[in-house]
């Protein structure tokens, strides 16, 4: 029995929006279910090439995107190889041009400072032309403002914006955030999430908790 192909386009007639897990082929890019990307400038199918930049296998770093994320047109993920090392007395990347300078090819990754994976939580909204730098972790439910440049980790359910990005406000109080994280509704099967949609969309954590208890009661 053949495995059905993943759905690429969530909406009939819309070729500007894709489910990323259906178009990404790089094993170092991990995308959760239903996370989507919209692009009205380039073909969104080319997200891996156009939006994940300086992502070379030599570093072993990954882009991890959770479930139900919304990524707007032109958002970029800038990886380690975009950096130039600051441990040298020169920012010139001599190890990249190892042949010209008679250096070992094995030292090429020393041309930059490796800051590690980019990790995006679940239900994160990344705005138009935002830039996420290597090593950054963004918590569940966060919102990244348009053209923000994110250089540091973002707490769950926090709105950030600016260059460099800084916190603007939390979407909810700490207790509500704790309760949302505990529910982790995004990990439920699609059929159960569909039943919970009225409660999710109500905006009331108590309503969602009550519906969740009814749904998962044995």
Distance CA 84, CA 110 (A): 9
Alpha-carbon distances, residue 4 vs 33, 118, 201 (angstroms): 15, 30, 30
CA distance 94 to 140: 39
Q: How far apart are CA 84 and CA 112, in angstroms?
A: 4
For Cα atoms 54, 67, 72, give the angle at the middle one, nearest 5 degrees: 55
Angle at 13 between CA 4 and CA 196, to 5 degrees: 65
Q: Which long-range contacts (CB under 8 A, 24 or more apart) does 204-210 make?
A: 205/172, 205/176, 205/179, 205/180, 208/183, 209/179, 209/183
Kindly give, in sequence order, each residue whose CB lies less than 8 Å from that of residue 152, ignoring residues fewer than 6 positions away. Answer: 136, 164, 165
Residues carrying an active site annotation: 84
């Amino acid at each position: 029995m053949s495995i059905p192909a993943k759905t690429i386009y969530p909406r009939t007639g819309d070729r500007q929006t894709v489910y990323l897990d259906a178009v990404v082929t790089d094993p170092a890019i991990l995308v959760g279910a239903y996370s989507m990307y919209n692009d009205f400038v380039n073909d969104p199918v080319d997200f891996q090439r156009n939006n994940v930049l300086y992502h070379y296998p030599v570093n072993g770093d990954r882009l991890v995107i959770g479930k139900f994320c919304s990524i707007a047109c032109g958002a970029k993920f800038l990886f380690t190889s975009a950096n130039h090392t600051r441990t040298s007395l020169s920012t010139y990347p001599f190890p990249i041009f190892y042949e010209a300078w008679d250096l070992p090819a094995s030292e090429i990754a020393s041309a930059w400072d490796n800051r590690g994976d980019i990790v995006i939580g679940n239900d994160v909204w990344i705005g138009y032309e935002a830039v996420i730098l290597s090593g950054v972790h963004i918590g569940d439910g966060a919102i990244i403002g348009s053209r923000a440049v994110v250089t540091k980790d973002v707490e769950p359910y926090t709105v950030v914006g600016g260059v460099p990005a800084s916190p603007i406000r939390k979407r909810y109080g700490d207790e509500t955030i704790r309760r949302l994280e505990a529910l982790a509704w995004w990990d439920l099967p699609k059929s159960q999430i569909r039943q919970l949609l009225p409660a999710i969309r109500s905006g009331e954590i108590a309503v969602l908790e009550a519906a969740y208890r009814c749904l998962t009661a044995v």
